[in-house]
Every structure is written in structure tokens, then in C-alpha cells.
Amino acid sequence: MITAAVVCLWSVAPAPAQEQEEQLREEQLHDDLQDDLDVDDSRERGARVDELREQGMELYEQRYYLGALEKWNQALELEPRNEEIRLLVEKALARRVEVTRMVREAYLLLDEGRVERAGELLARAREESSPRSEELYGLIVRGMRAVERALNRERYLRLIEEGDRRLEREDFQGAREYYAFARKFDPEGTLHRERIALIQRRVREEEVLARVERIREEAAGLYHAGEYGRSREAWNRLLSLSPGDQEALLFLSKIDYVERRREQREERARGYFDQGMRLYRERRYEQAIADLESAAALGYREDEARALIEEIRETMARLEGKQRERSEELVAGYLREGIKLYNLNRYRESLGVLNKGLELDPENTQIREYILRDTIALREQEEREVPPGSPFFPLVQDLARLAGRAFQRGDYEESVRRWEEILLIFPFNERARKGLARTLMKTDPGLASEILEGSYREAKDLLEAGERREAGARLRMIVEVAPGFRDAAGLLEELDARERRERAAPTEQDRRRARDLHREGLEHYRNERLEEAVAALREAVRLDPGLVEARVDLSRVEVRLRNLRRLASDDGRGNGELSGEQRIALRRHYLNGVGLFLDGLYREAITEWEQVVKLDPDYENVQVNIQRARQRLAFEKSS
């Protein structure tokens, strides 16, 4: 039984060695199981860390740094020693700090008014952040809105400023456009509203002013036309728009005067008309026109007065035409006589006759040509020899005789002195210059050569200037004194040959052609084709300069043509003369001024006389009258 019990006990409680072995096995098994569990847990943590890292990277790339930091901090809780995660956390923190710094700096710049730089920083901060960072992103959005408001304000003010510049130039449309555009940047702003309201007021004022000026022009025109009733109505309309307008008040005062003095004005106008008619009958045309203009200016039988003025002017024109025709014949006669005297070498007489013609027709080309010829011929005579009528003639004759005698006895110095005394009086006297050069050839050949060379240069200059006669005289003197002066002799020969060719009588063919052109010119003249007549007659004179009648007829046609052109210019008022209507208006203003002055309305009188000055500043004594009226006004103010 004990054995059984032991066996049974043994079976219940193993032996100590066996028990220890089993315990060791159990512990090993436990460690193995624990190791297996630790490996599985490490794998799960690594997978989770990788997942959190990737999630953090995705959030980082989306600029959601707070979310990325949250993920990576969770990963660090699993793997505190993970260096990669730590570096990512530091990177995200740095980005977060940089964005926060940019936002803070942008707000400071906004406070300083540096809006554009603040906007740039906020734009960069927005690019570096995510809307999921609600607090930071909200600051960025609010900052950018502030930037936009500030920029809009700047744009608004610039547009207002540009609109103000347009407004100063009274470019209302341009200013309105700028103000309307400015409203888009600050709809609640007051500046553009004020400016637009100002433009509307200015436009209304301009419209009123324009209307006032139109009425002013109408009222003044009616007054000047003598329609005083309608003029009064117009001036009153103007005063309703512009109360106190000084010009309107002045014109109304003048209209009151006219209506008060209507009977006196009519009586005075009748006197002007009657006197004008009497002067017309007496053929005192200018005075008649003046009185009839005064009658028309005062409105008395105005149409009849105007018709009479026109009739008188036509009568004067006919008389002037007849006078011009007589003048044309006189000019032609003077020209014909002048040419005849010139051909007889009676130059002074020719000049006297031609100058009479020139007084009648100062622009006559034919008379001027022959006056020039006479003048040249006389000058040549005086240069060659002092005329007997000159007060110096006896003195020059005595000096020349003494110089000649001194030369003959070999006293060349005395001869030179006498010739020089003549040249002091007549520097270009041909006889003295020749005698001086001949004498100097004996005493000072070098000086004589210089004088001859100087004379030669003078001759060439004269030729270039077209003074061939004077040049020829110089050259002849040189050749006579020094026959060996080849240049002078050659130039003189050329000049003489040229003059011979020009003096050569025209060919028979040229004469026939000149006569035909003369007849053709006369035919044009009879048919009032004056320009064609002038052209034909000028060609006739060119072909045959000796055809005197062609020259005379050319003069006559040129006179007629100039007179017609002058008349056309007068009719077109190209010479500044007043038209008939202007003269009547001028007279009306003047007489009105006189009446107003006599009535004590000095300011009103001045306005009338100022209208006279605009038409004719030198009219009668209008300037003196204005001064008197101003003195009276000054006296009234002082008293």
C-alpha cells in the first residue's frame, strides 16, 4: 500500500530534477513566444511609422505643416530615435516659422504704408501655406484683403487726381470718365461723388453761360440793326439768366435813350438826308455820301438812302474811269515825248518830261526804263567832262589847264597835284584820271601800274554788276594811257563787239514780226484781253526796240491793267477799306455815342464809340471823345 501511495504521489509530484527541467523548458518556450510577439510588434510599429511618415509627407507637400508635424510626432512616439522623422519635423517647423515670419513682416509693412511689399510677402506666404491651417491662413487672407483695399485706395486717389487735372482744363467729359472709373476701386468713396456733382454743376453753368452768350449776340445784333424793341426783349431774357449783367444794363439804358429821343433823332436824320440830296445835286459826292450814310445810320428812309449812296458811287466810278482814260493818254504822251528827246541826246529835257509821266503812273515800266537810260547818259557825260552849268566848271577847267602846262614843261609833281585836286571834287572824272595816270607813268611807273590795275579790277566788277557803259569808260581810259595793257584791251574789244551786236539793227524779219505783234497787241487791247496785249507788245519791243509806238501802246495797256487790278482789289476790300454796310454801322455807333454823351450817359457813350474804334480806330475824333467821357465819369465818381 505504501508503494502504491508513493507511486501515486510520484505521479502527482514529479521528481525535483524533472520539475526543474520542465520549468526551464517552459521559460524557454515563454521567451520564444515573447520574442515572436516582440518581432511581430516591431513590424507593426515600423509599418505604422512608415504610414505616418508618408501621410506627413503628403501633408507637407500640400503646405499643411501643422498636419505634417502631427503625423510625424505620432511616428516619433512609436520610434523616438528615428532620425529621418526628426529631420522632417525640423524642416516642417522651419517652414512654419518662415511663413509666420513673412505674415508678421507683411503686417508691419502694412502699418508703415508699404503696401506693395506687404502684398508680395503675403502672396509668398499664401503659396507656402494651406487653407487647412485655418488660423495662419486666415491671417494671410485678411492681410491680402487689407493690401487690396490699400492698393484700391491708391488707385482711387490717382484716378481722382488725374480727373482733377482734366477738370482744371475744363475737360468735363474726360474728368467724368476718370471719376467713374475711380468708383470701381472704392464704391463707398466720397471724392468721386463730390467731383461728379461738381461737374454737373459746372456743365449746367456752362450751358447757362452758352445760352447767355447766344442771347447776348442776338440782342446786340438786334440793337445794331435798329430793332430796339426786340433787342430789349432779348436783353431782359439775358438778365433773367444772369441778373446784374452790366452789358445788358448798358444796352437797356441806350435803348431807353433812343426811345426817349426818337423824335429828335428822326428830325436830325431828316436833316442829314435832305442835305445829302442837295450835295448830290451840287456834285459834292463825298460829302453827299457821308450825310446819306448818317441818315441811314439813324434809320431815316434807309433803303432810299442806301440806293442813293450806291448811285453816287457808280457816278464817281464813271468819272474816275474817264479820268483814268485821260491819265492813260497823258502818260502815253509823256513817254512818246521823252523817247524823242532821249534819241536827240537831250537827256535832261527827256528826264523832265518822263518824270511828269511817272507822277501819274509811278509803276510804268517803259517810263522807268527811259528814266534809267537818261540818268546813265547824264552820269556818263558828267564823268567825262564837268558840264558848263556846274558851279565847279571854271575851277575844273583852270586846274586841268594848269596840270597840262605843268606836264608839258616836265613839272610832273605839279601836274599830279593839279589832277588830284580835280579828283577830290569829281573822283570819277575821266579826264582827270587819265591825266593822272599819264603823268604817273613819267614819275612813278609802279604807282601808275597799280592805279591802272585798280581801274581794271573796277571795270571787271562793273561788268559783273551789269554796268557796261561805266566799265567801257574805265577800259578806254586804261588803253589810252597804257596801250600795252593787253588784258584791258582784250576785255574792251569783247565789250565793244557785244555792244555792236546789240546795237545792230533788227533784221527785216524781226521788224515784220514786231509790227505783227504790235497789231496783235492792239487787237487784244480793244477786246479787253489786257494780259495777252501786254505779252504781245513786250515781245514786239524786244524784237524791235526802236518801234516807239509799240512802247507807247505797251505803256497805255499796262496802265489800264494796273487800274483794273486796283479796282478789283478795292471791290474786294483787299486794301482794308470799309464796306458800305460797315460805314453805315460805324456812323450809327458814332452818332449814338454823341447823343448819349450829350444826355449825360457817359458809360453808354463809351460803349458805342468803342464799336467805332473796332471798325476804324482813326475815325474823326472818336479817341478824344472816349477820353472825355472817361474824364466825366471819373469826375462824377469823385464828386
Segment 185-212, tens digit of pLDDT: 888 888 888 888 888 888 888 889 999 9
Rounded distance between C-alpha atoms, residue 261 and residue 267, angstroms: 10
Q: How many residues does the chain have?
A: 639
The per-residue pLDDT for 3 is 34
- Mapped onto helix, strand or coil, the DSSP state of residue 527 is coil
C-alpha cell of residue 401 = 589847264
Of 58, 49, 60, 55, give the one whose Cα is nearest residue 83: 49
Segment 132-149, tens digit of pLDDT: 877 888 888 898 898 888
Q: What share of the chain is helix, strand, coil (3-state, %, to 5)?
A: 85, 0, 15
HSE, side-chain direction, 13 A CA sphere, residue 326: 6
The per-residue pLDDT for 638 is 79
Segment 313-327, tens digit of pLDDT: 888 888 777 776 777
Rounded distance between C-alpha atoms, residue 506 and residue 477, angstroms: 31
Q: Residue 25 burial by CB count (10 A; 0-12/13-18/19+): exposed, middle or buried? A: exposed
- Average pLDDT, stretch 407-424? 80
Rounded distance between C-alpha atoms, residue 103 and residue 125, angstroms: 7
- Mapped onto helix, strand or coil, the DSSP state of residue 169 is coil
Q: What is the 3 state secondary structure string of 480-518?
A: HHCCCCHHHHHHHHHHHHHHHHHHCCCCHHHHHHHHHHH
pTM of the model: 0.39
Beta-strand ranges (E) seen in 151-257 are none
The per-residue pLDDT for 568 is 56
The per-residue pLDDT for 234 is 94
Segment 542-581, tens digit of pLDDT: 888 777 787 778 877 777 777 777 655 555 443 346 777 8
Average pLDDT, the chain: 81
Rounded distance between C-alpha atoms, residue 575 and residue 406, angstroms: 67
Of 338, 438, 346, 430, give the one whose Cα is nearest residue 382: 430
Segment 461-512, tens digit of pLDDT: 878 877 777 777 778 777 777 778 888 888 888 888 877 766 656 788 888 8
C-alpha cell of residue 37 = 510577439
The per-residue pLDDT for 4 is 37
> b/e map of 351-384 (b: 16 or more CB within 10 Å)?
bebbebbbebbeebebbebbbebbeebeebeebe
Q: How many CB atoms lie within 10 A of CB 420?
A: 15
- Poorest-pLDDT segment among 201-215, 226-240, 618-632: 618-632
DSSP code per residue over 36-71:
HHHHHHHHHHHHHHHHHHHHHHHHHHTT-HHHHHHH
Q: At residue 10, does pLDDT exceed 50? A: no
The per-residue pLDDT for 379 is 66
The per-residue pLDDT for 569 is 55
Report in angstroms the alpha-carbon separations of 113 from 13, 102, 143, 156: 94, 16, 13, 16
The per-residue pLDDT for 219 is 92
Are 123 and 144 a contacting pair, CB within 8 Å? yes
Q: Tell me the CA end-to-end span of the chain in Å, nearest whole number.
A: 175
When mean pLDDT is compared over 238-247, 424-433, 532-541, the highest value belongs to 238-247
The per-residue pLDDT for 12 is 41
Which amino acid appears at position 486 of this protein?
R
The per-residue pLDDT for 35 is 54
The per-residue pLDDT for 211 is 93
Segment 249-275, tens digit of pLDDT: 989 988 888 888 777 878 888 888 898
- Average pLDDT, stretch 161-184? 88
Are 452 and 407 a contacting pair, CB within 8 Å? no
Rounded distance between C-alpha atoms, residue 145 and residue 137, angstroms: 12
Are 331 and 366 a contacting pair, CB within 8 Å? no
Rounded distance between C-alpha atoms, residue 637 and residue 639, angstroms: 5
Rounded distance between C-alpha atoms, residue 477 and residue 380, angstroms: 13
Say which DSSP state 184 is in: T
CATH tag, 578-639: 1.20.58
Q: What is the 3 state secondary structure string of 571-597?
A: HCCCCCCCCHHHHHHHHHHHHHHHHHH
Which amino acid appears at position 500 of this protein?
R
Say which DSSP state 242 is in: S
Domain with CATH 1.20.58 in the chain: 578-639
